[in-house]
Each structure stands twice: as structure tokens, then as C-alpha cells.
Chains A and B, each alone.
Chain A
Amino acid sequence: MTKVSMTIDGVRYDDDVEPRMLLVHYLREVAGRTGTPIGCDTSNCGACTVLLNGLSAKSCAVLAVQADGGEITTIQGLANGEWHPLQRTFHEEHALQCGYCTPGMIMAAVDLLRANPNPTEQEVREGLEGNLCRCTGYQNIVRAVLRAASEGAAS
């Protein structure tokens, strides 16, 4: 077992974990942050995307021990009193159906807008290439991200 400590959605966690434990399993099963789901086992789908030290990361492709000392934001820590602009525009633009990809999609979009506050439609499509959605055809996801950008979500 290896000792890890990290901040998840503003709360400090200290635990002993197996060195092989994936960060997503640590989040879900040890820290109880089940808002971040798992959609695949090859880091293709992006459902488990979180922010690790401010940058998007697929938490199935990171070991918990690699996140030691880090700061993690999940979908459950994104709202700050009120919903994050992307949570709001996803809702208003009907950018989700079953909602399983939504946590990862929103977290990936947060990082996309951080890096590129005013993306074109094509830049949004390419920027979210690592996150798969089976329900929406992405059209309303793209619309929601563009709208959040136009409303200054990145600022």
C-alpha cells in the first residue's frame, strides 16, 4: 500500500492505496465521488475526464499514486454556488440525453475553453474528439460549448 493525499473538489483526502489503483477507482470507490463514471478500459471514451491540477485528464489513464499531492476537480465540484456556465448551457441547449458522457464532456469542455476561449465550431469538434457520446450526435454539445464561450465562460 502507498500513502496518497490529494484535494478533490476542495476537500483533502489521505488514504493508503494499492499502487496499481486507477485514479478513477480511487475517486469512485475510496473518495465516494461517483459523479465521474467509467465508460471504457482503453481511454477512448473520455467519460471519466476530470481536471487534474487544472488540466483535463482521463482519470482511467492515471494511477491514484500519480495524482499524489494534486488538486482534482470533478463534475461534482464544478458548480460554485450556481452551476458553471457549461452546466447551464448543456441544460439549455439539450446537449445531453442519457447523460453518461456528460461529466467527462463538460470537464473536457472546461479545459478546451481555458486553452481557447473563443473556439470555432471545428475547433470545438476537434477539441472534444477524445470524448464519445452515443446519444446526441454531438450537435447540441457543440452548440452548448460555443454558447458558453460566447457568454464568456472562460473568463
Chain B
Amino acid sequence: MTVTTEIGKPRARKEDARLVTGQTMWTDNIQLPGMLHVCYVRSPMAHARIRSVDVSAARSAPGVIAAFSGADFAAEQGSLPCAWPVTPDIVIPAHPPMATDEVRYVGEIVACVVARDHYAAADALEKIDVDYEPLPAVLDMEAALAEGSPQVHEAGNKCYEWVFANGDLDAAFGDAPVVIERTYRQQRLIPCAIEPRAVVCEPVGDEFTLWTSTQIPHVVRFLAAAILGIPEHKLRVVAPDVGGGFGSKLQVTAEEFLALLIARKVGRPVKWTESRSEGNLAVHHGRDQIQRIKLAAGSDGRLRGLSVDLLADMGAYLMIITPGTPLLGAFLYNSIYKMDAYSFKCTGVFSTKTPTDAYRGAGRPEATFAIEHAMDDLAAELGVDPLALRQRNWITHSEFPFTTIAGLTYDSGNYEAATAKAVELFGYDDLRKEQAARRESGDQVQLGIGISTFAEACGWAPSRILGSLAYGAGGWEHAAIRMLPTGKVEVVTGTSPHGQGHETAWSQIVADQLGVPFEDIRVLHGDTQVAPKGYDTYGSRSAAVGGAAVVGACQKVVEKAKVIAAGLLEVAPEDLEWTPGRWSVRGDPEQGRTIGEISLATFAAHSLPDGVEPSLDSEATYDPENFSYPHGTHLCAVEVDTETGQVKIRSYVAVDDVGVVINPVIVEGQVHGGIAQGIAQALFEEAAYDADGNLLTVTLADYLVPSAADLPTIATDRTVTPATTNPLGVKGVGEAGAIAATPAVVDAVIDALRPLGVTDIEMPCTAERVWRAINAAKGGAR
């Protein structure tokens, strides 16, 4: 029997000690002897042929060691990897880290300066002369697919078409009493981790160490080795303290490859740190889809069929999982609802904009937005309460495990329980009454209620499923336990945290498994020399997959300790029983050895049983059979000033079911942060381009990341339905808030305004857009 003591405790984090005192090791803090600084020339044009690049004047500028253009790397730089060729006939254009012939978005790297300090490098950039021949920008997805459109790449603007269908669509839609057809737009977003990216590379002989602000040191190592021809065993990749990611650092970047190539050329350590303006141009963007949705239902509100037709903007090139990102939503448009038929089509489209890729939720926020928004539209069409419509259609808790129309098997959940809790906490009925009264009185400030009864698929793992989707990697996770002679424990994990608190949460797991104090455990990560195996951190996978690997490694330690304890106690192993932290003789509990005593005895190795190796250290690799399926009900009430269009979030309730909770404080923090990003998409943020393809939101003065004054206090609660797909029963929480929040907020705004005739507002719902929608509904100009 395992007595749980640490799992579930609201432990304050181990990580914080260095973070609140400024002792953090960000990549940009690294200083090495003789280190040089790199600055890049980036294309100021959305699309152009490069006629010539002249770096000679820069080379002779003060403090400059070298300057390079794409031609200098042409033979060795290869092409940045796309690891998810989603269809056999997908177009994957060459993507040199430094452009050689053509540039296809503002911000693409064209040349670089290597100098003694950052100021000298930045000064010399101005001496580089690039002659561009302008080519037409391609900015609109529908226009890009039309006959005669200018081409981003020779092979055309269509990247791929991916389809999925299940059930009899014709029957579902044929004589359906109600069919709603809508087009929604997912605006382009910029992830904006507060730490800008940075890379440091140190060459020693023919070996390299690369420090990089990344979520995926192991993947960077593998792909840099495979593509640049640096032998894998001679490349060490380190993710030191990393200041947020949200998917933006789930990438293998031009700047990482170029740091290796430049360091090799100049034979000295090099550093590159981006400015925020550089980052908004060059870090991959998120979302940017047009969603055409058709939803068929009976007159009783029972769903019959759903058809989804997406256009997804890839941007100019395919990054690591660019084409697959919209497909992560393909299996979730049906969400928690039962229906007879479902079809999904996604067309990937190239544009002359920054490449898109994973951003918190990656495909699932888009899917959840669309279905929840469509459910509200359907409820309005039918004249029923939108919550009642959801209840009419959702999978009930007695139906699990449930295989959905999209083919996923949801292992567990209880949508009724989470919703009941949320409705009570929110005061749903009272708010509906107040809404009715305000409508009745024609109040200038109208009240709207948004509902998001969401589920998602995360715990990004099952290698076999990923393989079946043409994903170019596996999804297992690795852990090792090192028992130190003094009884202290080192945990090596292949996950790579950047704010999530793995050092704390993994310590809680190990404390329970081995029965050692929380304080006696140290978690090591993010360095391929220390933690050599792993698939890193994204897709809310770390606890469900990496945590499960930690459990597996601990269990092996306990089994090894049993054999050694039996030798020490001179009894047979089967006569021993385990209580956390100690093997003792069954029926004679005084006779026993703690795990620390066993560890010391193993270190001495004087009296181990014959044939037993003197080590308790163990490792485990875990690959689950299925994803995990967090769910929850988020309810949002907004007040909308119908004269000004101003939206104010009045209350927000989130009841999440993320399975077993390792640390409730960390879980709540993830929910808060996810919701903040979901609200940001709903109300504030948009990456905007002008007609020439220039990004207009290059700085944080233009791209409106919300501040404390912009966001509400969120009321959170939980239900706990353990996952059955991993030994911890955890489901993942990193993305849930970002997936749930956007439709809750936008639907609340529209709910407030439906009596005025407003049925849709494009995100972000700024005061101007809301005012224009109200005005248009009144018959005025937009």
C-alpha cells in the first residue's frame, strides 16, 4: 500500500529561490572568455529576390570580427526541419537558415555581423548593403489559392489538403431540420514569452555546446546533428533557465543553426540575443485560420452532423510542426458532444508572413472556439438556453470510456459534475435573471454570459498514434533516479520546464514513491549531458508522460532495494514488505532497513547478495497507449457598454478536471495563466499586417499583451476524475485555460448583444469592433 503524503500538497516551489533573488541563469546571462556577439540583418520586404549582399564594409567596421551573407553558408546550412509531413504530397519548401536567393517574410535573416560587443555588431549592420528586387506579397489565404495569384514558392501556394470523415454526412445533413453555417476567423497571434530568445554556442575542437532558450533541447540536438552533420555525441545542448515558452520555444530555429555555423567559422564562442521587435517578427506566430463550420441538428436540439473546412496560414515556410498544428484540432471539433457524422478538411496555405506553429493549445483552442461558438449560434437559432443545448448533447459520465465520432477514446470525465459546480459558483440563474432585466429595461450596459464546456486531448505522447499521423518522432518520456550514498536523491527527467515547476512536482512524486523527504530530492533537467534522453515539454505532456516515467524509475529502485535489503537482513526477498521509505520483515517490522540505509550499504557494497550489482540507480521510459482528456466548464459574464463598445469582464468561473492534482498551487497557476492568454485572444491581441506585408505589431506598444489592470480575478474550482491512461491519474493542465477561455469570453460578448442583432464579432473584440458590430446591426455603416 502506498500512503500518499506529498501528492496533492500545495508546496511552494523549489525553483523560486533563485528566481526571486535574481540568481537565475538565463541564456543571455552567459559570459564566456573571448565570446563574440552576433546581430542579424533581416529582410525589410515581405517578398523579394536578393540581387546581391555586400558585407565588405561591415567587415572593416570597428570591433567587427566577421560578417557573413547566405552565400557563406550555402554549402553547409541545409534546410530548417519540418518534422510533420502531414500528407504524402505536402509541399515542403527549402528553408535555409540564412536566405540566399529570395526572402519571403519581413524578418527573414539575410546577413550577420560578428563583433566584440553587441553595440559594435548593431552599428556595423548598417554597413551591410542588400539589393532587393521586390516581388508581390501574398497576404490573404483565399486570394492566395485563387488562379493567377502571385506565388510564395514555385510549387504554388497550397501546402497540403488533409481530410478526415466518419459517419454518414449526407444522412446527417440531408433532411436536418436545422443547419447553421458560419465562418469564424482565428486571428494571428504572437506568443510573447517575456524572455526574448537567446543562443550561446561554444566550439571546443570539433565539439560544441549550445545554450539556448528552448523548450526542446533534446530535439534541437537530434535535428542539428542530423541536418548540420555535427556528430550527435559531439553536440551538447543546454536549456538553462528559460523564461516562458507557450509553444514559441518548441522550435528548431535559424538562429540556433547559425550560432553553430558561425561559431565553427570563427572558432570562438558566440552569443545572439534578440530584441523584442526582432522577436515579434521572427519567433513563429500562432493560430491564423479561417474556419467554415456547418452544424446540423434535429428540432429537439440533438446534434446530427458537423462539417469543418479550414484554411490555415502556414506563413512563408514550414517550421517544426507548422502543418500539423491546425490538425491537432481535427479530432476535437466534436468536443464533448455526441453526433452521427463528422467531416474535417484543412488546407494549408503559404503566405509571405512569419511562419506559424504551435502556440499554447495549438489547434485545440481553435477547435474549441468554433464548436462552442457554433453551439451558441445553434441555441439562438433553436431558441433554447445554450447550457441546456450542451447538456442535451454531451457524453454522460456513465458512458466512459467513449469513442467519439472523431475516433479518439475519451477514458474518463464527468461533464455534469464540473458544470454543476461551475453553475453554482457562477450564480448562473441569477445572472440570467439580471440579463433579462437589463434587456427589458434597455440598459445601456448589457450583460452577456459565455459558456465553454470543453474537453481537450493532451499528454502528447502515444508514439504509435503519432506515427499513424505521419508525425516525425515518438512521444515517450524518460526518467532516471540516482540514489546518493547519503540517502539524497537525484531525479533526471527528459522533460524541460520553463516555468511549470517540474523541480517541485517531480520531487513530490518521488517523495511518495521512495518515502524520502521532499527536501532531499533534486530534479535535473534541460541539459543533454545531464539528462541525455527525452522528448521535452509541450502539449501538456510533462506530468502525464514524464511524471509517469519518474514513477516507473522509482518502482525499479524500490525493487532493487528489496533484494539488497533481504541480503542485509538475511531473509528472503518475499518475506519483506514495503512501507514508504523502508523495507521490513513481514510480521517483524522492527527488522528493516530504510531506503537511505540500503543506499549507503549499496555504496559500500560489502555484503550484497551474490550476482547483485552495487547500484540502486534505475531508469524508465514511458509511452502511454492513449492521450489524456482534461475537461471543464468555464463561465464568463461580461458587461458591454452599447454606446462605446467597451467590454468589461464582470466574473469568470473555471471548474477544471485535470485528473489527480500533484500540486494544487501549481495547477491553479497554470489555469490562471492559460485563461489570461485565452482572454488576450478574445479581447486584446492580434498580429496585424499592412497591405505590403509589414508587421504592424512589432513592439509591445502595438501588440497588446494584457496587464494586471486589464484582467479579472478568476474563481477556480476542480472536480477530480482520475485519468486511466497513466499510473498517476493526471491529465495535464498547461493548455486547458487557453483552450477554454476564448469562446467563453467572445460568446459572452455576443450573448450580450444578440437582442440587438449582433451574431458575430471578429477577434479581438476591441471596443471599436464591438461598437462597429452594434452599429452595423442597427443598420449603420460598419
Residues of A within 8 A of B (CB): 18, 20-21, 25, 28-29, 33-42, 44-45, 47, 74-76, 78-79, 83, 87, 90-92, 94, 96-103, 106, 121, 124-126, 128-142
Return the chain B residue nearest A128 by Cβ. B708
Name A90's contact: one of B20, B24, B28, B675 (CB within 8 Å).
B20
Q: Are A132 and B707 in contact (CB under 8 A)?
A: yes
Q: Could you tell me the distance in whole angstroms from the C-beta of B273 to the nearest C-beta in chain A?
A: 8
> Given the complex, which residues of B lie within 8 Å of A132, measured CB to CB?
194, 700, 705, 707
Q: Are A42 and B276 in contact (CB under 8 A)?
A: yes
Return the chain A residue nearest B11 by Cβ. A94
> Given the complex, which residues of A lie within 8 Å of B275, measured CB to CB?
40-41
Name B13's contact: one of A25, A91, A133 (CB within 8 Å).
A91
Q: Could you tell me the distance in whole angstroms from the C-beta of B536 to the nearest C-beta in chain A?
A: 15
Q: Are A134 and B194 in contact (CB under 8 A)?
A: yes
Is B97 close to A, CB under 8 A?
no
Q: Are A44 and B699 in contact (CB under 8 A)?
A: yes
- Contact A76:B499 (CB < 8 A) given known A47-B194, A100-B243: no
Q: Could you tell me the distance in whole angstroms from the C-beta of B124 to the nearest C-beta in chain A?
A: 15
Question: How long is the Cα–Cα vector from A34 to B21 in the complex, in angstroms?
Answer: 11
> Given the complex, which residues of B lie within 8 Å of A33, measured CB to CB?
22
Closest 8 CB pairs of A and B: A35-B22, A100-B243, A99-B19, A98-B499, A137-B676, A44-B700, A137-B672, A97-B499
Q: Are B21 and A40 in contact (CB under 8 A)?
A: no
Most buried by B among A44, A128, A131: A44
Residues of B within 8 A of A (CB): 12-13, 15-24, 26, 28-29, 117-119, 192-196, 241-244, 246, 273, 275-277, 498-501, 665-666, 668-670, 672-677, 699-701, 705, 707-709, 711, 713-714
> Given the complex, which residues of A lie within 8 Å of B26, measured CB to CB?
34, 37, 100
Query: What are 28 of the A-B contact pairs (CB < 8 Å)?
Result: A18-B119, A20-B119, A29-B117, A35-B23, A37-B243, A40-B196, A40-B700, A42-B276, A75-B21, A90-B16, A90-B20, A96-B19, A97-B669, A98-B193, A98-B195, A99-B16, A100-B193, A100-B195, A103-B22, A106-B20, A124-B708, A125-B708, A129-B707, A129-B708, A135-B194, A138-B707, A138-B711, A142-B708
Q: Could you tell me the distance in whole angstroms from the C-beta of A51 to the nearest C-beta in chain B?
A: 13
Question: How long is the Cα–Cα vector from A92 to B13 in the complex, in angstroms?
Answer: 8
Q: Could you tell me the distance in whole angstroms from the C-beta of A20 to the nearest C-beta in chain B?
A: 8
Question: How long is the Cα–Cα vector from A58 to B399 in the complex, in angstroms?
Answer: 56
- Contact A83:B500 (CB < 8 A) given known A94-B666, A97-B669, A98-B195: no
Most buried by A among B13, B20, B501, B701: B20
Q: Are B711 and A40 in contact (CB under 8 A)?
A: no
Q: Are A94 and B669 in contact (CB under 8 A)?
A: yes
Q: Are B242 and A98 in contact (CB under 8 A)?
A: yes
Q: Are B672 and A87 in contact (CB under 8 A)?
A: no
> Given the complex, which residues of A lie within 8 Å of B117, measured CB to CB?
29
> Given the complex, which residues of B lie within 8 Å of A134, measured CB to CB?
192-194, 244, 246, 673, 677, 705
> Given the complex, which residues of B lie within 8 Å of A40, measured CB to CB?
196, 275-276, 699-700
> Given the complex, which residues of A lie within 8 Å of B192, measured CB to CB?
134
Return the chain B residue nearest A138 by Cβ. B708
Q: Could you tell me the distance in whole angstroms from the C-beta of B282 to the nearest C-beta in chain A?
A: 14
Most buried by B among A33, A99, A124, A137: A137
Q: Are B676 and A138 in contact (CB under 8 A)?
A: yes
- Contact A34:B29 (CB < 8 A) given known A137-B675, A139-B714: yes
> Given the complex, which residues of A lie within 8 Å of B244, measured CB to CB?
97-98, 100, 134-135
Q: Are B246 and A45 in contact (CB under 8 A)?
A: no
Q: Are B709 and A129 in contact (CB under 8 A)?
A: yes
Name A97's contact: one of B20, B118, B501 (CB within 8 Å).
B501
Return the chain B residue nearest A89 by Cβ. B20
Question: How long is the Cα–Cα vector from A45 to B670 in the complex, in angstroms?
Answer: 21
Q: Could you tell me the distance in whole angstroms from the C-beta of A56 to the nearest C-beta in chain B?
A: 15
Name A100's contact: one of B194, B665, B672, B673 (CB within 8 Å).
B194
Most buried by A among B193, B194, B501, B677: B194
Return the chain A residue nearest B677 by Cβ. A134
Q: Could you tell me the distance in whole angstroms from the C-beta of B38 to the nearest C-beta in chain A?
A: 15
> Given the complex, which residues of A lie within 8 Å of B501, measured CB to CB?
97
Return the chain A residue nearest B10 by Cβ. A94
Return the chain A residue nearest B665 by Cβ. A94
Q: Are A141 and B13 in contact (CB under 8 A)?
A: no
> Given the complex, which residues of B lie within 8 Å of A130, measured CB to CB?
707
Q: Are A98 and B194 in contact (CB under 8 A)?
A: yes
> Given the complex, which residues of A lie within 8 Å of B23, measured CB to CB?
35, 76
> Given the complex, which residues of B lie within 8 Å of A142, measured CB to CB?
708, 713
> Given the complex, which residues of B lie within 8 Å of A34, measured CB to CB?
22, 26, 28-29
Question: How long is the Cα–Cα vector from A35 to B499 in the complex, in angstroms?
Answer: 17
> Given the complex, which residues of B lie within 8 Å of A102, measured CB to CB?
19-20
Question: How long is the Cα–Cα vector from A78 to B22 in the complex, in angstroms?
Answer: 10
Question: How long is the Cα–Cα vector from A149 to B195 in the complex, in angstroms?
Answer: 28
Return the chain A residue nearest B245 by Cβ. A98
Return the chain B residue nearest A47 by Cβ. B194
> Given the complex, which residues of B lie within 8 Å of A99, measured CB to CB?
15-16, 18-20, 24, 241, 243, 499
- Contact A87:B699 (CB < 8 A) given known A98-B242, A99-B243: no
Return the chain A residue nearest B703 by Cβ. A44
Question: How long is the Cα–Cα vector from A76 to B241 in the complex, in angstroms?
Answer: 17
Q: Are B19 and A36 in contact (CB under 8 A)?
A: no
Q: Could you tell me the distance in whole angstroms from the C-beta of A75 to the nearest C-beta in chain B?
A: 4
